[in-house]
Structure 1
């Protein structure tokens, strides 16, 4: 039984959709909006011509002119129905009531029904009730009061039929409007999703520029500075100096691009990365620092978590802190990196160096501030400042971000 009901409902869907689209075209088209007024004009012209042609020789001209002027006024109201639907309907009903003694609604009824249909089909229920009552008072009541019961019944049937048709049209129109609003909302959501995806793509690019390219250029700068003056070969020294200048220019451009992207997308920079790093990815970073002439010590305690997001954050903090030593620390000779994995799944990352920060360098850096937002967004904390035994220290506490990860997959050191 349920399947039959569903099949019947689905079979009725195309018909309702066609009717709804037709009603929508009727409402939206200015040309079609003139169909009803023009049809009323033609119909009234035929009716009045027939009425006048059948008048006896001793007719009252005043009554005929009254009917003609009332019909003309009602037709004008039909043309103006889109602007003030209820107001013009009430005015038309007043003219129809004035001509009722002459025609008993025979020549003014069709325009009145057209006006009533427009109000009932599109206006609120209070206005719809007012329009129906006004049409009954002008179209049905005079005939009923005059004692023409059969004609009054015909008028009442026409009013009821038009009201039913108007309510059907109203339901289909409301459904079409709801479907259009839903589609507009979906389109807006798709647009927001596209803009969010584009922002995240730019953010990933900015993050990689700062973290990967920036680190590599910093390592090149440190290596070339270590080679300057080591051989005494002028050609070699000039080449090393040129490489150093190019690396510095590239680093400056990279940082400028990162700042611009950060200004466009705020804290979203670096969010939504799919190419996350694992624990062992830190080894090349430390090797770069050793190649630059620094003594690097790395210690790790506890058991690594299989949490990829935690590993990526630990890697990013370590790489950023190491890169800042190469870039900003003065007279730095040693870096100590410690990863301490606690039993609750958190990881504390500590990076210390024995150098002194270059004056004003802290104002130029954006990496630690961005990483601080990422760590805080993950529920952790990041601090940077002078270490108790001299030098500089970066310390981050990163909670377990994936408690459901299988501990059997944990990597071993």
Structure 2
């Protein structure tokens, strides 16, 4: 917002009990104005009948205060009060408006069958009154009343469906966001913790075998653990900062991408993996989301190869084409990478979700010559913007 600009004030609609009270008062005012001729002018009925009629008007409109909490009960009560009013009073007031509003709320709250039953009961009762000699309502009026009630029920049901669809969309978006956060935390924390676990286990093993000669190796491993834990904390802090969406300028790590592949390979080599990387194809800069997805796929594959498959050699192939980028990670491990409990973990599923979210695909399974192979493909068009292409 520009400096000195005056913010636009938007009217705030009432909520909760205030909205219920506004509904009841909003209906009572026009009904009362339309029924004033029973209090002024020439008398057509006794004062006792007028008092009873106004009591029914106030009761029906006041019941709308509870309409959102007990829609069916309130609508039935308003219908009964409206029917009694038209039987007692000789003045044809607009109290039917209160029942129409209550009927709409019943349908909007999802009680379609109750709304249809109340509307049908109203039409039937009005028709019986017409046949019994009520000359104020004829067949045309009954037909028009039927159309109005059908329309009110239909509008209420449409409103209910729209709100249900909006809630479903919000729940789906929240679920997708939770999955994205879980996937990101898994990739950031899981990889570094796996490397720390492997490096510390290797240091302990060397110290136990040969305490004298293993001291230097243990020192190197502890240095690698220190570096890996620092990277883990930095990336975790950066991820949490994005999730909090804070404004303070906290120190954050650079965005993960293939330009940091060297650091990833170096940490994997400290864990005992012989990692070989091959690039082929074009070398244009990738979009940020594609670059991050490729980095996370390689990161998770290296983690699985070191921690679960017990591999010693891993080959990473990255092929960049005009319309897609492909990564293939192959190891010489003992077979499919599984979690410690013996069941497939969340890593492969997370990699597959990343690829699918960008319109790509990912396969993972035993390689033709043994070991395990992860192959991911993410499409990328030739529409350049600021030197980078956009995912299709």
> Into which bin does the TM-score normalised by the smaller protein fall?
0.5 to 0.7
TM-score, normalising length: structure 1: 0.50
Query: In 2, Cα distance between the equivalents of 1:277 and 1:334?
Result: 24
**Equivalent residue in structure 1 for 2:314, among 335, 340, 344:** 335
Counterpart in the other structure of 1:299? 278
Change over 3 Å in CA distance of 1:393–1:26 after alignment to 2: closer
Distance 1:293 1:350 in 2: 20
Determine if contact 2:281/2:321 at 8 Å carries over to the other structure: yes
How much does 1:318 deviate? 0.7
CA displacement at 1:372 relative to structure 2? 1.2
Q: What is the total number of aligned residue pairs between the two structures?
A: 280
5+ residue gaps, structure 2, are 1-10, 12-19, 61-77, 101-118, 137-147, 230-253
Question: Contact 1:278–1:311 at 8 Å: present in 2 too?
Answer: yes
String of CA shifts for 1:53-77, please: whole Å, max 9, x gaps.
Answer: xxxxxxxxxxxxxx76xx5346434
Contact 2:273 2:313 in 1 (8 A): yes
Distance 1:121 1:359, change over 3 A: closer
Task: Find the partner of 1:72 among 48, 53, 78.
Answer: 48
Determine if the alignment matches structure 1 residue 207 to structure 2 residue 179.
no
**Does the 8 Å CA contact 2:314/2:332 hold for their aligned counterparts?**
yes
Tell me what 1:26 maps to: 25
Structure 2 equivalent of residue 367 of structure 1: 347
Structure of greater Rg: 1
Q: How does 1:169-208 map to 2 (within 5 A)?
A: 202-208=178-184
State the Cα distance separating 1:340 from its structure 2 match.
1.1
SS in 1 for 2:282: coil
1:373/1:209 Cα in 2 relative to 1: closer, same or farther (>3 Å)? closer
- State how far apart, in whole Å, the 2-side matches of 1:377 and 1:359 are: 23
- Equivalent residue for 1:285, pick from 250, 254, 264: 264
Distance 2:197 2:257 in 1: 26
Q: Give the C-alpha shift of residue 37 in structure 1.
A: 9.3
1:262-302 deviations in Å (ceiling 9; x for gaps): xxxxxxxxxxxxx9632212221111111112211100101
Task: Say which of 351, 375, 392 aligns to 2:372.
Answer: 392
- Higher-RCO chain (CA-CA 8 Å, sequence separation at least 6): 1
Q: 1:4-83 maps to which residues of 2 (within 5 A)?
A: 24=23, 26-27=25-26, 72-73=48-49, 75-81=51-57, 82=60, 83=78
Q: 1:359 to 1:198 in 2, by over 3 A?
A: closer
Match of 1:117 in 2: 94
User: Structure 1: where are the runs of 5+ without partners?
Assistant: 1-13, 15-20, 49-66, 93-110, 140-169, 251-274
Q: CA separation in 2, counterparts of 1:205 and 1:91?
A: 63
**Cα distance in 1 for residues equivalent to 2:86 and 2:347:** 72
Give the whole-Å Cα distance in 1 for the aligned partners of 2:97 and 2:273: 85
Cα distance change of structure 1 residues 359 and 216 upon mapping to structure 2, 3 Å threshold: closer
Measure the CA separation in 2 of the matches of 1:312 and 1:372. 14
Deviation, 1:303, is 1.0
Aligned residue among 70, 83, 106 for 1:87: 83
In structure 2, the CA distance between the partners of 1:407 and 1:341, relative to structure 1 (3 Å rule), is farther
In the alignment, the residues of structure 1 paired with residue 319 and residue 49 of structure 2 have an alpha-carbon distance, to the nearest angstrom, of 91
Q: 1:355 and 1:138 mapped to 2: Cα distance?
A: 92
User: Partners of 2:30 and 2:82 in 1: how far apart?
Assistant: 21
TM-score (norm 2): 0.53
More helix by share: 1
